[in-house]
Each structure stands twice: as C-alpha cells, then as structure tokens.
Structure 1
Amino acid sequence: MSVMGEDALVPRARSRLPVMCAAGLGFLTLAVAWLLDSDKFSERAGIIAFGLMLERFIYCICLLAEELLFHSRQRYHGRMSEIFRACFRGSGILGMCAIFLMLMLGGVSFSVKQWSHFNLMCAGYMLLNSLGVLGPAPVEISEICEAKKMNVAHGLAWSFYIGYLKFLLPALEVNVREYSRRERLSSPRLHILLPLNARVPSKPEEEDTNVVFHENLPDLKLDRAGVRKRSYTNSVYKITHNNETFSCILEYATPLLTLYQMSQESSAGFGERERKQQVLLFYRTLSQILDNSLECRNRYRLILLNDEHTGDPHYLSRELFQNLKQQDGEIFMDPTNEVHPVPEEGPVGNCNGALQATFHEEPMSDEPTLMFSRPQSLRSEPVETTDYFNPSSAMKQN
C-alpha cells in the first residue's frame, strides 16, 4: 500500500547508471589516446589491458591462499572447484589468456623493460589494495548488499512476512467479520506503523493521547515451531481527530525493535544513520513482498511515520486519520465474495450463474437449400434490419 509522501523518503533501487558512465568515459578516453598517439595503439592498449588483468589475477591468488589454508573444510567441504569459483572469475582468466595469445600471435615480444613495468603495476596494486585505497566505496558495498538481499532489513522483512503476516492476515479477516457484527470498524485492514527512528513504544497512547485502546480481537491460536496453540492477538484502537472518532486494528512493526536495539549495541556496528536506512529498506522490501502476496493483498496498510514531528503531540492520530480518510475513497474487494452476473429480463435465462439465451430450434433438413439476399450497393451505409433494432419493422408486425 502506498503512503502519501513516501517518494521523498524511501530510496529507490540503484540503476546501472555508474556502469554506463564508466563505459562511456572508457571509450572516450580510448578515443583521446588514439588521437594523441595512434602509433601501435592496439599493441599498447593490449599490453596495458594484460597488465591490469594480471595484477587482479595475482591478488586473487592471495585470496585463494586464505581460503585454502583456513576455510576449505568449513566453508567448501574440501571441494577445490568451489574454492576456485569463489576466488577467481572465469571471464577474467579467459580474458587475460586471450589477450596474451593475441599479443603473441600479433608478433609482440615482451622485453625486460615491459616485464619490469608489469612488476611495478602489480606491486603498486597489491600495496594500495592492502592499505584499503582501492577498496570498494560505501556506495558499492550498499549496492552489492541490496542487490544480493544481504541487508539486515531484508532478513527482518522476510521473517516478519513468513513468520507472522502470511498466516495472520487471512485468518484476521474471519475475526474482523465476526467483530463487525456487533461493532463497526472504520477499516477492515491491519494498520502497521513503521516509525523512521525505529522507536517502538509499548503502547500507542504513549505517543498520542488521541489514540486509545478499545479491546482485543479473539485470539488466533496455531501450532508453531513446537509450541502448541500459540496465541496471536490483535488490538482495536479508537482514534479521535477534529471531534471525529474512528476505530481500526493497529500495531507497530515489531522487527523495528530489533533494529533499534542493534543500534544501541556497540558490537553490532550499527549507527543511527544506518538504522534509518535499514528502516527504509525494511519498508520497501516488506511493501514489495506484500504486494506480490495473494494471501495478504488488500488486507493491510503500511504507515511510514516520519520522525520530524517533534513538538506535535497528536501527530500519530493525524496520520491515522489521513490514512483512514484516504481508504474511504477506495473500493474494498473481498476475495471471498464472488461476483455473479445479473440475469437480464426477456428471453435470456440464468443457469448456475451463467447467462443462457433461448432460441426457437427448427429441425434441420437433410436437403441443401440456397439463401438469397437483396443486392445492396457497396457504398451504402450499413442499416440494422433485425426486428429488435428496427422500430419500423416492429410496427409493421404489430
């Protein structure tokens, strides 16, 4: 579910723009180099490319030494093929060998001076890499973690969905239907609050006195992970705003408690800035998961709460009021209620919910017959001649 103003807060997935820019600048610099000195350009470019790939290959050998000596059994079960795939890229090795063969077949002879240049390039690469100068930038690390779904937020979002929302939301619909027989709910959906600062109070009344606990829905009891009849409870709250009172099912996203407590532990290496980014990623990931879930579709509402509301004691009730008002204009489709066609009046009948027309059937003749129609001009306008649509013919029959 979308929340008003979320585009200004929730980060979008990163695009391929850096790769495209790097490729464009690479071709541009190659063109400039060729214009400056076109003498043996392909030979010099091949030698430089071979040197760059060689230094990366030597660094991968250093990675291989670590994996072979200390991690071959625990991480790879002694399988050398997996160790090599983890340390080397097949495309890099093939590219280096292909460039070397092309240079040799092209008649290029590597002199002692050129090998000395290769040694200096490899030495400089090793030293700079060991000092962290050539390491990935924070943006690159973030991009890799997001692309591989390796962030804390990804795990928490999937855990919240698989371990709670996936089975709770379909079952909650039954409780809401029973509750609505005796009391009115402003919305049948579960409203999940996600504060950006990850500070989750034990009671919403602590944040806003206009949000008051009303009562609990009947418990949902399931056998989960060895616990017999584990109880899951949802609460109904009354929200007052501008002398209007609304009621809805409300709760905070409990995984945000984990993010907040991690930021308080020095061993977690999780600062306030990282915590906010993880909350936004949690919101984005959970939204994508729930949007693609048939069990949860149209049964929830994610409400992202901006923490820039210091001094407003009724911020929460105002946000809930706006979301509930926004839902008033939406059509809530109950997937359990099937829509049946309405039968038309007249010769059209209804059989098991399907429209069925009745026509007068005549016995078919075995003798072939010829049917002729009156000739019409090819340029004439089409005229409806059936009795149903032609009032003149209908009047003649009457």
Structure 2
Amino acid sequence: MASLIGEDGVVPRPRSKLPVICAAVLGGFMLLCAWLLDSDRFIEKAVIMIFCFTVETCIHSMCLFAEEWLFHAKQRYHGRISRIFQSCFRRHAVLGLCVIFIMLMLSGVSISHDQWSTMAIMCAVYLLLKSLGILGPAPVEISEICEVRKMNVAHGLAWSFYFGYLKFMLPDLENKIATYIATRERLSSPRLHILLHLNAAVPSKPEEEDTNVVFYNNLPELVLNRAGVRKRSYKNSIYKISGQNNEMYYCILEYATPLETLYKMSHESSAGFGESERKQQVLLFYRTLSQILENSLECRNHYRLVLLNDEHTGDPHYLSKEIIQHLKQQNGEIHMDPVQELPQDRVVHPVPEEGPMRDYNAAVWGPISEEPLNSIPSLMISHPRSLRSEPVETTDDYNQHNARRF
C-alpha cells in the first residue's frame, strides 16, 4: 500500500482538461463577437479562415513528409510510403481540407484577388513562425504529452523497477519473513519500505544519513535464474531503528535504486537532463510506481513508499523519524482478514416457526430439521422434467366435475 504523509502537497496530480475548456469558451465568445460585428459575411469569412488554416497545416506536413521520405524511409519506415504519410499528415486536417474545398466549390463562393493575397500571406507567416519554433508547443504541453503517452524517463525506470525486481520479490516477501521470525524476533512491519529522496540521492548505507538507523540482519535469499545468470540471489536487509524513549523498531528498508540513474543523468551533459527536471522526474517516478503497485494484486500490501523531503537535511535524525511515523501509521490501519468458520458454540441455528405456518410447511415440505446448518454445501440434483409441461387445472369446479365422473 502506497501512502505518503502530506503527499498532496508534494506529488503533482495528473493535468486536467481545463485549458481545453477555457480555449473552447473563449473561442465561442470571440466567434459571437465577430458575428455581432459583421453577421452578413460571418459564414463566408469563417469558411475561408478554416480553409486557410487547414492549408497551412497540410503545407507544413508536406515539409515533414519530404524529410522523412528522403532521409528516413528505409531506416524508420522500411520503405513504406503509407506509414510516412500517416506519421506526417493528420487525418482530421486532410479531411477538413477536402470538406472545406468541396463546400467552396458547391456553394459557388467567389474568392477575390485580395482574399487570395491574404490567404497566401497567412500561410507564409504561419510557416515562418512554425519553422522558428514560435508556434511550437509550450513546455507544459510537451510535459503533458510525455506524461499521457508514458514517454518520460521516470515511466521507463518505474516499469523496469517493477518487472525487473518488485514483481517477483514482493510476492515472496511473506514467505521469507515467516522463515525469519520462526527463529528470531518479530518485525515491526511485514512490508518492504522503499525510500525515495526528492534529490534522487541514493547513499550506499542508511547509517550515512542517520545514525539511528543501523543494519541488523538479512532475510533469507531469493535465488532465481534471470537473464542468463544462473542462481542470481536477491536479498533484503532488516534495520534497527532507534526512537524516542529507547523504543526499538525492526523493519525492512532499501532505497529505490533507479533514482541513482536519475541522479547520475542530471550530472552528465550528454544526457540532456538537468537538475531542474530531476525533481519532477522523481515525483513522476513515485506516482507511476505507486499506481503500478496498487494495480498489482501480487504486490499489494507488501510494500510502503516513503518519500523523503530534502528540506529537512538539517535534522540528523529525519530519516528515522519519518520511518517511525510511517510504522505508527501502519499500526492504525485496518486490514481485511480472510473469512473464517465460526466455532461450534457460535453456530447459528434456524428459528423454528410457530402457529399454523409450521403445520402447513410440515404438510407440504415435510418436517423441518432443527439441526445446525452445515458449513459444507451439498449438491442437490432433482429428477429431470420437461421444460414444456402442460398447464394443470386446479380450480374447484374442475375438481368437483372430475369427482362426479368417478
């Protein structure tokens, strides 16, 4: 279960559709103003503007098509022109261009020389601004596209961390803990606590940042054959955490190792990954990993993500305090235990019926057994009967008539 104290103030939420709604409302308001100013030529101007915008988009797509066809057709598209066309041209733009062109031809609207000149200038200005990057997507739009399409570095690291380690390690954690506590003391929590620093720093030992967190022991190893390596071993470490009033806690800790990759990438110039983007990637890594683990039935309730804020680096025991706070929070959680059979002294007995209904049910269905209900269901099979049975007459007149016959 992924839970973070104060998570809402740190982890960013997915972006909503508010910009699209605002743009639609403002666009509709501007169209209304344009119709009020010149209602006679509103439709004509709107059709021409839409035609001009679609032409601009198609011309820019032709420039993209030239690059992909001349230099990347074999390497990227295996020489298939159809794939290049789908990658460069937007379907709705081409469809809109055809529809507007047909509407102009059928409506008989004549485009004047000045209008053709205006359309040419608009196309030229659009292409120049597009080539200079002025009309390109804003950084926020690029970030949203990468998040929606799972194209960030954090997405890949989170999925790699899940499939390469957590997916097979967390389900086996319960067995290893059971083996461990059979001969040693119990743990304060049966979950793996994964530590994530906002600055992506991953120390080799927790003792380096907090002396109250001390290595205690290792759980039994998990040995698997992975990626050509025979009998690769995976182990988890138990740490003893000292709290106030000489309280001792024992839990399983480790850092999220993929964050070390983010940290090193931010210090490598060729990676094109600065320190300003590193924190956002760490938060996105946390959000993605928590979503992956929550949707995994095998890993649920076997982990705890602990996001550590770098603003508390002045406190030498911040790590131990944060872990103890998470341990106390887990003690207050309610867990759904599996359904168990009731003891014999608490078996529910059926209440016998009283009055005329008891005699009627006994006559129709036979005597009612007052023995306790059996917890083991039994299979009851009835004799086969036709699904198309004839209706049976049960009225009093019908029964009296048959009685006279006999």
User: CA offsets, 1:154-196, max 9 Å, x none?
Assistant: 0000000011000000111111011122211000000000110
Q: Secondary structure at the match of 2:340?
A: coil
Asked if residue 271 in structure 1 is aligned to residue 283 in structure 2, the reply is no
Question: What do residues 290-309 of structure 1 show as CA deviations (whole Å, max 9, x unaligned)?
Answer: 00001101000001111110
The alignment partner of 1:161 has SS state of helix
3-state SS of paired residue (2:223): strand
1:238 maps to what in 2? 240
Once the two structures are superposed, the pairs formed by residues 138-153 of structure 1 within 5 Å of their partners are: 138-153=139-154
Give the equivalent residue in structure 2 for 1:247.
Answer: 250
8 A Cα contact 1:349 1:355, kept in partner: no
CA contact (8 A) 1:298 1:332 kept: no
- The 1-side partners of 2:62 and 2:331 are apart by 63
CA 78–339 in structure 1, closer or farther in 2 if over 3 Å, else same? farther
Could you say what secondary structure the match of 1:188 adopts?
Answer: coil
For residue 103 of structure 2, what is the aligned residue in structure 1?
102
Runs of 4 or more above 4 Å deviation: none
2: CA distance, partners of 1:369 / 1:105: 76
Structure 2 unaligned regions, length at least 5: 350-370, 380-392, 396-406
Q: TM-score, normalised by structure 1?
A: 0.86
Q: SS in structure 2 opposite 1:45? A: helix
Alignment length (residue pairs): 356
Percent identity among equivalent residues? 67
1:304 matched to 2:307? The reply is: yes
> How far 1:369 moved relative to its partner?
11
2:374 to 350, 353, 360: 350
Match of 2:32 in 1: 31
Residues 81-136 of structure 1 show CA distances to partners (whole Å, capped at 9, x for unaligned) of: 11111001111111111112112222211223222212111111111111111111
Quick one: distance in 2 between partners of 1:219 and 1:170? 14
Which amino acid in the other structure matches residue 158 of structure 2? A
Cα distance in 1, alignment partners of residues 342 and 137 from structure 2:
61
In the alignment, is residue 124 of structure 1 matched against residue 125 of structure 2? yes
SS in structure 2 of the partner of residue 201 of structure 1 = coil
Deviation at 1:48, TM superposition (A): 0.9
CA RMSD between the two structures: 1.9
Between 204-213 and 96-105, report the one with greater CA deviation: 96-105
Q: CA offset at residue 202 of structure 1?
A: 0.1
Q: Indicate which of 315, 321, 326 corresponds to 1:323.
A: 326
- The one-letter amino acid of 1:232's match is Y
Asked if 2 retains the 8 angstrom alpha-carbon contact of 1:43 and 1:103, the reply is no
1:87-236 aligned at under 5 Å gives the runs: 87-181=88-182, 182-236=184-238
Secondary structure of residue in 2 paired with 1:304: strand
The secondary structure found in structure 1 opposite 2:210 is coil
- Structure 1 counterpart of 2:266, one-letter code: S
TM-score, normalised via structure 2 length:
0.84
C-alpha distance in 2, partners of 1:159/1:345? 51
Look up the SS of the partner of 2:79 in the other structure: coil
Partners of 2:102 and 2:185 lie apart in 1 by 81
- Residue 332 of structure 1 and its aligned partner are, at CA, apart by 4.2
Q: Which residue of 2 aligns with 1:375?
A: none
